[in-house]
Structure 1
Amino acid sequence: MTSHTARTALAEEIARVVREVPGVAFLRPRLTGLLKPAVVPGPTGSGSATTAGVRLREDEAAGTWHVEVRLVALSGDRVLDVARAARRAVEERLGALLPGCAARAHVTVTVTGRV
């Protein structure tokens, strides 16, 4: 089981990596992110943490991570290309940070808008 602090640090690192992807305007928080502070821990022992537009969930039984990224793309870039680049960046960063878990990570990138 990963500690809350470690999950939060991982979510912050993923958010940083996604913000650096060309074509990403910003990360899009969920409604709860707009109503609560930027970091919202899940229920104790749930294995989830949310920071801005990144949500992490660790499935301890299966030994996998579920990473959900919600972002807004720049209007001059193809949305599909931005989403693919963001997903690839997250997968590569997970591979560097969690070598044993990266292959079993499920990364979803949703583009919620364009500016």
Structure 2
Amino acid sequence: MTDQDTRAQLSATVAEAALGVPGVAFLRPGLAGLLRTAGRSGPAGVRIGRAGGADSHDSWTAEVFVVLRRGHRAVDVTRAVRAAVLRAVTDPAAVTVGVVAAVTVGVTVTGFA
């Protein structure tokens, strides 16, 4: 599996996991994502990259940009999104995304709907 294939599968898995969390209205890219949308593949609101460092061959970072439903506490939803994403990308029974040693997940609330 190529690096690009793994990135695309991780993006789709992360987006699906985040959207399944109660309190998430939808995903929305940050400003940098909006500026890069034209040449970008994968779901909006998810940015996947390689983790830095010498041991990063199978380590990834996932940034998720969410819009929350009103009436939900941001801290509770962001924690739930992070947990759901980690479960989805590390559970071999859930989705096969190739060899992924570690994923660091960041969640940013970009608004309320």
- 1:111 corresponds to which residue? 109
CA distance in 1, matches of 2:100, 2:9: 16
Give the corresponding residue for 2:64: 69
Maintained 8 Å contact 2:26/2:68: yes
TM-score for the superposition, normalised by structure 2: 0.77
Runs of 4+ in 1 over 4 A off after TM superposition: 97-100
DSSP 3-state at the match of 2:70: coil
Q: Percent identity?
A: 41
CA RMSD of aligned residues (A): 2.5
Change (3 A) 1:100 1:6: closer
Report the 3-state secondary structure (helix = DSSP H, G, I; strand = E; otherwise coil) of the residue aligned with 2:71: coil
> Greater strand share, 1 or 2?
1
**Structure 1: gaps spanning 5 or more residues:** 42-49
Q: Which has the higher contact order (CA 8 A, sep 6+)?
A: 2
Contact 2:6 2:97 in 1 (8 A): no
Q: Distance in 1 between matches of 2:30 and 2:109?
A: 12
SS at match of 1:112: strand
CA shift digits 1:78-97 (9 cap, x unpaired)? 11110000000001011114
Using a 3 Å threshold, how does the CA distance of structure 1 residues 110 and 82 change in structure 2: closer, same or farther? Answer: same
- 1:5 CA displacement: 2.5
| CA drift at 1:76 | 1.3
Contiguous gaps of at least 5 residues in structure 2: none
- Give the number of equivalent residue pairs: 105
The answer as to 2:93 corresponding to 1:95 is no
Following TM superposition, by how much is the alpha carbon of 1:33 offset from its aligned partner in structure 2, in angstroms? 4.0
TM-score (norm 1): 0.76
